Amino acid sequence: MNDLNPVVNIGTEKSPLMVLCATTMMMMYEESTGRKFDCDNMDDYLSYMDGYRDGYNASLSNEIKLTKVAN
């Protein structure tokens, strides 16, 4: 499970768009928290995703960073 990389480039080389793979993030959430993913814990899951995104972005220097999509 440690080898999973949920960051995926769905853009082009000239205009990359980095996103998190939802399936991989669900598996990582379940492994990390010991809780099964379901609608009842969606807020906790979204907090987990935000924390992952923030940690990922902090590890980058001048590369393209993940952003939160506004509703």
4-31 confidence digits (pLDDT tens): 788 888 888 888 787 888 889 999 999 9
CB 22 within 8 A of CB 10: no
DSSP 8-state assignment for residue 7: E
Average pLDDT over all residues of the chain: 83
Torsion of CA 36, 42, 43, 49, to 10 degrees: 80
Torsion of CA 14, 65, 27, 46, to 10 degrees: -130
CB 8 within 8 A of CB 20: yes
